[in-house]
Structure 1
Amino acid sequence: MMLRDLAAVADLPPAQAHAYISSFRRLDLIEQDGATGRYQLGPLALQLGLARISSFGPLRAARDAVVELESELGLMVALVVWGLSAPTAVQVRIGNYPLNVNLRPGMALPVLGSAAGRVFAALGRPDGIDEIIAAEFAEAAGGKAPSKSTRKAFESELEGIREKGYAITTSEPVPDVDTIAAPILGPDGEVLAIVMVVGNSQNLDLKPDGLPTRLLLAKTEALSGEKR
C-alpha cells in the first residue's frame, strides 16, 4: 500500500503514519518497494508468522510431515496456509529434482491458478475468497466477468475436489509442472493448512493410487482433526 492509504486505514495523519512506518522499517517489520514506493510486510513479519506456526500444534506436526514427504518422495513439498487474503507458502522443501518454480516461504499463491487455492475454494471458504475469485476471473478475462460455461466448469471442479478430498493442477501456472494438494482439517472441519507435492510432469505420478497421492493423503488425514 501507499503511505497515504496506510494513513487513511489507520486513521492517522500522514506525518504520524510515516513516523510509525520508519520505526517498523528499522525493525524489518515493513519494507518499501523501490520501484513502486509501496509498503509491504518485511522479513521480520515473516519470521514472526513462521514462529507462530511452529508453536501451533497441528501445524508444527505438519512441518515435520513436509520434511518426511520430501525425504520419501524426493519431490518438492510445501506447506500453505491462508495468509493475508491469499494462500501463502510458509515452508518449502525443494526435493531432489530441480524445478523452474519460484516458490518460497512468504509467497502468495493465486486461488484459481494453484492447487492449494482450489482446495481453499472448495473446502475452506475463508473470508473474502469469493471477491478474490471474482477478481482473478476478471483479470483472466481482461476485466470482464467469466462466461457461464467457465464458471460452471470451475464449480464442477470444486465439487470434484470435495468428493476426492484433494486437488490436482497440471502445467498450471508453470508449464510441465504438476501439483497435488490436500488439506489438514481442524476438529470442526476447517482447513488449517494445505500440503502440496510439486513435480515435473514426468516425475510426479498423479494417479489416485500412485505413491505421491497415497503418501500425501496418509499424512494429511493423520494430521486432520487433531486438537490444538
Structure 2
Amino acid sequence: MNPFFSQRPGVNRRRNEHAALAPPETAAGRTQRGIQSVEVGGRLLLALAQARAPLAPADLATTSELPSSQAHAYLVSLTRLGLIKRDALSGRYEPGPLALRLGLLHLAQQPALREAVPRAAALAQTLGCSVALCIAGPQGPTIVRYEHASLPLHVNLHVGTVMSLPGTSTGRVFCAWLAPDAMRAMWKNQAAQRATHAQRDAALEPASDAAFSATLDTIRKRGFETGIDAPSPGVSSVCVPVFDEAHALRLTLTAIGASASLDVRASGAVVRALRDAASAIGAAAFPSTSTLPCPEQAPGLRA
C-alpha cells in the first residue's frame, strides 16, 4: 500500500479537498489545470530558496503565508521526498539531497559545464592538484564540481561550497568579470553573513576601495588570479575565467594544491594548462568565443 495515501475516508476526503485543482491557466490555446497542494508546497520551497539560508518552521510558514499547522504537514512530506532537510540541532530547514541532485542535473545541461567537467578531471590528473568548477550563485561563486588531488589537502571544499569574494582567487576573478549588478547582490549577501558570523576569518574583509579596484584591474590585464597561502595557510590556488561568445563570465576553473608544489607563475605549467582548458571550453560551448579576456568588455565590481 502506498504510504502517502490513507484508506480512512475522512483523511482521504480532507486530502482531496486540500489537493483541489488550481485555477486554470491558458497555454498554447489549451486550458491547463494543476494540483493546488503541489503549488502550495512549491511556495515553501520558493521561500527557502529566496531566503538563501536555513529557515525555522515558523519563518517558513510566515513567508509562505500558511498556518503553522498546515505548513508543518507540507514540511514533513517535502522532507520525506528529500527536497528539504531539517538540521537536528537548530531545527531549521534547508535544501535536501533531492533538491541538490535536481540542481546539479540542471547545471549539467549547460554547455559550458558539460564541456568543463571532463577537462577538469583531466587537469586534476595531469597537474596533480584539485580542480574546482564554480558558477555564480546567489551568495557568491559556488563549487558545482570538485576533482580531488591525488594527495589530500587540508581544506574543506566540496560541491556547494561558496567562495569568499575578496578572500579567494576564485572570488576575485568573479569580482573582476561578473556584471556589476550581480556582483553587488553577491557582495551584499556575503557581507550580511559576515555580520552575523563574527568568527569568520579576517581574510574575508575586502581591502580599501582603491586598492581592491587596482587588484581587479591587474587580474583583468593578466587574465587569471592566484591565491598564495590564503585563505588557508600552506594551500595556494590559480583561477582562470571561462567566457561565452559575448565575453560574459560563465564559470571559472580553479587549481588548488599545496603551496610547496603548486606552480603559480604566469609562465608556469598550471597557468598555461588552465588557460588552454578555459579557451577550449569556451570555443566548444560558445562558437566564436575569443580566447583572451578583454579588459574593456569586463565590467566587474568597481567599489
Cα 1:18–1:111 shift into 2, 3 Å: farther
2:268 is equivalent to residue 210 of structure 1: yes
Are residues 100 and 5 of structure 1, via their aligned partners in 2, closer, same or farther at CA, if it must alter by over 3 Å?
same
Distance 1:147 1:204 in 2: 25
Which residue does 1:155 correspond to in 2? 213
1:17 aligns with 2:71: yes
The one of 173, 176, 189 aligned to 1:132: 189
* Deviation of 1:85 (Å): 2.1
Paired position in structure 2 for 1:96: 150
Tell me by how many angstroms 1:211 deviates.
0.3
Q: What is the CA-CA distance between 1:187 and the residue it aligns to?
A: 2.0
Give the letter for the 2:211 counterpart.
A
Structure 1: tracts of 5 or more residues without a match = none
Kindly indicate whether the alpha-carbon contact (under 8 Å) linking 1:186 and 1:224 is maintained by their aligned counterparts in 2: yes
CA RMSD of aligned residues (A): 2.6
Q: Indicate the structure whose relative CO is greater, using CA pairs within 8 Å and at least 6 residues apart.
A: 1
Q: Which sits farther off after the overlay, 51-60 or 130-139?
A: 130-139
Residues 156 and 141 (structure 1), Cα distance of their counterparts in 2 relative to 1, 3 Å cut: farther
- Pick the structure with greater CA Rg: 2
Q: What is the deviation of 1:34?
A: 1.5
- Say whether 1:123 aligns with 2:180: no
Matched, 1:227 2:281: no
**In the alignment, structure 1 residue 52 sits paired with structure 2 residue 106:** yes
Q: Quick one: which of 222, 230, 253 aligns to 1:164? A: 222
1:11, distance to aligned residue in structure 2 (A): 2.8
Distance 1:147 1:177, change over 3 A: closer
User: Does the 8 Å contact 1:170/1:201 carry over to 2?
Assistant: yes
Q: 1:214 to 1:140 in 2, by over 3 A?
A: farther
> Would the alpha carbon gap of residues 148 and 185 (structure 1) be closer, same or farther in structure 2, given more than 3 Å must change?
closer
Bigger Cα displacement from structure 2, 122-131 vs 198-207: 122-131
Instruction: Return the alpha-carbon distance in structure 1 between the equivalents of residues 267 and 186 of structure 2.
Output: 31
1:81 aligns with 2:135: yes
Q: TM-score, normalised by structure 1?
A: 0.88
TM-score in terms of structure 2 length: 0.67
Moved over 6 A (4+): 139-142, 146-149
Give, in whole Å, the separation in 2 of the partners of 1:149 and 1:220.
28
Is 1:191 aligned with 2:259? no
| Count of residue correspondences | 225
**Could you list the per-position Cα deviations for residues 65-120 of structure 1 after superposition, in whole angstroms to 9, with x for gaps in the alignment?**
10111121011111111223222111111122221111111222222222211111
